[in-house]
Amino acid sequence: MEWDQDINTFQLTLKRLQKEHAHQSEFNVICLNYVNQFQNQLRQDFEDITDINENEIIYFFKHIKPVVVAHSLYYRKIIQLEHEKPKKSKPLKRYFSKQLELQYSFKLQHKAFSYYLNSSQSHLDSLYFTCREPLPYDPDDLLDNRNRSYTTPRGLLTAKLLCDELLTNYLKAQLKQLKKTDTTSETPNLDWSGSRTDLIELTYALYHTKVIHKGKADIIEIARALSSFFNVDSGDVYKTYSEIKSRKKSRTKFLNELTIHLQHAMDRDDF
């Protein structure tokens, strides 16, 4: 059987489609159409096999078919999410967060079977992954009771758990992108016009007055924060501080300038 090779080709083709059509509005529909075509061909190939043993049947329904079905479920769900999602940022974050909670709830509901799969257990494989009558206590299995020659008691649930992983990654990526977008839009683009030494002098002043994070932030954290905000490389913080301390005249030159300029500005405002 060449199922592993087929699945590898399937996944590589999806990656290619994702790269080629990433900016098209019908991107998910294109991927879903390919998945459906592959799914139909996979079923046809399986039904054409005349000589197959139980181990091969188990492998197919545990490791091959669920991967394809999971992607079919995934793209259908993504198309639905994209159609129903709100347009504004705050409602969109709530929307994706709610969907993420639903994925976690589903995984929690089926944690025992998920553990069975993830821990590579196999003692129940003949019950879960061979073609037989549905398990009476399994609603998911009863829903998939259309063709018992191509359906197993835990095949659909296996696919749903794989789909859950895909959806969880998608939702996390969407939330991360929204957070990044919000940060970019809210943070002004300001460049530091003073010297690197001036920045380090300010850094140490903030550190020793303990006005950042209730005095719990260390020197490097403050330096990195200022560097990021002002788009400047702080360089070797400790070396620069050592040079500041070794000044022969004023060791707080920049801070003194800040004080002088502020006092002059206030004096002018008084007239």
The predicted model gives 6-12 an average pLDDT of: 93
- Please check whether residue 134 is in contact with residue 153, taking contact to mean a CB–CB distance below 8 angstroms: yes
pLDDT mean over 15-41: 87
Residue 132 has pLDDT above 60, yes or no: yes
- Spell out the residues 6+ positions from residue 38 whose beta carbon is closer than 8 angstroms to its own: 10, 13, 68
In this prediction, residue 213 carries a pLDDT of 86
Q: What average pLDDT does the chain have?
A: 87
Residue 141 has pLDDT above 60, yes or no: no
Please give the DSSP secondary-structure letter assigned to residue 213: G
Q: Is 138 helix (H, G, I), strand (E, B) or coil?
A: coil
Task: Return the minimum-mean-pLDDT range out of 33-37, 168-172, 179-183, 215-219.
Answer: 179-183
Kindly report the backbone phi and psi dihedral angles of residue 190, in degrees, each rounded to the nearest multiple of 5, phi listed first. -120, 130
* The token pair that represents 113 in the structure block: 């079977």
Q: What is the mean pLDDT of residues 189-194?
A: 86
Is the model's pLDDT at 166 over the cut of 90? yes
Whether 175 contacts 96, CB under 8 Å: yes
Q: What is the pLDDT of residue 60?
A: 94
The answer, as to whether pTM is greater than 0.85, is no
The one-letter code for the residue type at 206 is: L
The answer on pLDDT for 8 being more than 70 is yes
Name the burial class of residue 55, with classes exposed (0-12), middle (13-18) and buried (19+) by CB atoms within 10 angstroms of its CB.
Answer: exposed
Whole-number pLDDT of residue 165: 95
Instruction: Give the whole-angstrom CA distance, residue 63 versus residue 1.
Output: 13
d(CA 89, CA 181) in angstroms, rounded, equals: 9
Closest to 147 (Cα-Cα) out of 69, 45, 47, 240 = 47
Q: Which one has a higher pLDDT value, 144 or 87?
A: 87
> Which of 102-116, 134-148, 156-170 is predicted least confidently?
134-148
